[in-house]
Amino acid sequence: MSKTLYLHIGTHKTATTTLQHFLAKNRKALRAVGLFYPQQNIVGAPRHYAHHRIAHAIAGRDDKLDFDCATAFFAKAMELAGEDDRILISAEPFFRHMIKRKNDPATDPEPALYRYAKKVRAACGDADVRIVVMLRRQDLFIESMYGEHVLSTGYQHEIASFIEERHWMLDYRQRLAVWADVFGADNIMVRTFERESMDTPVEQYFLNWLGVDWCDGFDAAGDQNVALNRTFVEFKRQMNFPNQPSGHNTRLREWLTMAAALPFAADLPKRGKYYLNPKDRYTLMEAQEDGNREVARTYFDREDLFLRRVEHDAKHYPGTDIVTDREIQKITRHLLRMIAQPGVG
């Protein structure tokens, strides 16, 4: 029986963490319907709900695993699949990784993207590969990425700097063209991430897309990595400093998530999750208009890639007011009270 390897490459901020937790939680049930979702520890990587270390290893960004380990992982996954005809690998870093060289053009990431995609193809061996990718409208994608980055690192800058540093991630036409060129255009599976257009939970939506029937025995993982209100993200940004230990970020993020659920948080200004003012939002999306139209025509046979209109989100911009000293003091006071409780700090 021929096997198909589905390589889910993201993108970031398209419910990937929720999907991966669901897949990991239901490994046995998924095998019963012919879908194998392997552990990444089959080649010595730590157990994890996804396959990030494999994506990092191919890019040369892992401190313990290398390209040979990644190649061995894919070969072992195909072997362990047994009678299962579908193997699923999921890691959103596949979408963002590049392999840069000193002489690469400063403004063109394409050569670096090709190097990485070709190494992914080589690591997969002779497997029949389908590239699976969900795309989120670029303004919403970068806002969500920004909030996540502030929470998970010591990042101190505002969103304008973040966009300038990562604008290359927003050109979906270029990135999909690279993957299509390396893996074959017919092997690229693309959908947009717009929850309002999904008629089922995202886990069921994703499996149905892969041709896997939903079973009542599947155990939902629940939403993972839920975004925090902008007030708490801004608090974290102001607390950040360069080269913060990862453990510091993880713990502070956990505490802020707990604090955001306390009654006092309801009295804080409702800043929502929007960071871009209307002018910057429209400017960002206008820059991607031609590329998005080409992606829409290529993969959806329509003119508009995203059905959700930009004006829907532009009108909800909460304004430029920053978190005040008084609010910082209030959050700090409640954080200190909370972490002083047994079992929290």
Q: Is 216 a member of any domain?
A: no
**CATH number, domain with residue 19:** 3.40.50
Specify whether 122 is located in the same domain as 243: no
* Cα–Cα distance, 27 to 218 (Å, whole number): 10
- Find the helix packing angle between 138-152 and 246-260, rounded to 10°: 110
- Same domain, residue pair 156 and 199: yes
In a domain, 186, yes or no: yes
Q: Is 311 within the bounds of a domain?
A: no
Same domain, 95 and 129: yes
Check whether residue 41 and residue 187 sit in a common domain.
Answer: yes
pLDDT tens, position by position, 173-182: 999 999 999 9
Name the CA radius of gyration of the chain, rounded.
21
If you count them, how many residues does the chain have?
345
Whole-number pLDDT of residue 321: 67
3-state SS assignment for residue 35: strand
Is residue 166 domain-shared with residue 240, that is, in the same domain?
Answer: no
Cross-strand pairs, 334: none
Residue 299 lies in a domain: no
Instruction: Provide the domain limits for residue 166.
Output: 4-209
Residue 238: which of 326, 149, 342, 150 has the closest Cα?
Answer: 150
Whether residue 152 contacts residue 90, with contact meaning beta carbons closer than 8 Å, is answered with: no
Residues 48 and 166 occupy one common structural domain? yes
Answer positive or negative: Cα dihedral of 268, 269, 270, 274.
Answer: negative
Q: What is the pLDDT of residue 109?
A: 92
DSSP state letters, 304-319: -S-SS-HHHHHTT---
Is residue 179 helix, strand or coil? helix
Q: Residue 46: its pLDDT value, please?
A: 87
The pTM of this model reads 0.92
Positions of the chain with pLDDT lower than 70, given as ranges: 1, 224-226, 320-321, 345
- 49 with 175, same domain? yes
CA dihedral 34, 74, 70, 124 (to 10 degrees): -120
Same-domain status, 162 and 93:
yes
In a domain, 83, yes or no: yes
Tell me whether residue 91 is in a domain: yes
Examine residue 345 and state whether it is found in any structural domain, yes or no: no
The tokens describing 151, both together, are 């929470």
Contact status, residue 314 vs residue 281, Cβ threshold 8 Å: yes
Same domain, 105 and 43: yes
Tell me, rounded to whole angstroms, the distance of Cα 164 from its chain centroid. Answer: 19
Q: By 3-state DSSP, what share of the chain in percent is helix, strand and coil, each rounded to 5?
A: 55, 5, 40
State the pLDDT at residue 1.
58
CA angle in degrees (0–180, nearest 5) for 310-311-312: 90
- Which residues are CB-neighbours of 128 under 8 A, at least 6 positions away? 2, 3, 4, 5
Strand-pair partners of 132: 8, 189
303 falls within a domain: no
Number of folded domains in the chain? 2
The token pair at 278 is: 């209307």
Is residue 48 located within the same domain as residue 97? yes
Identify the DSSP state of 213.
P
Task: Looking at the structure, tell me whether residues 243 and 178 fall in a common domain.
Answer: no
User: Judging by beta carbons within 10 Å of its beta carbon (0-12, 13-18, 19+), is residue 39 exposed, middle or buried?
Assistant: middle
> What per-residue confidence (pLDDT) applies to 250?
85
End residue of a domain, out of 174, 209, 244: 209
Q: Do 200 and 138 lie in a common domain?
A: yes
CA end-to-end span of the chain, whole Å?
53
Cβ-contact 21, 224 below 8 angstroms: yes
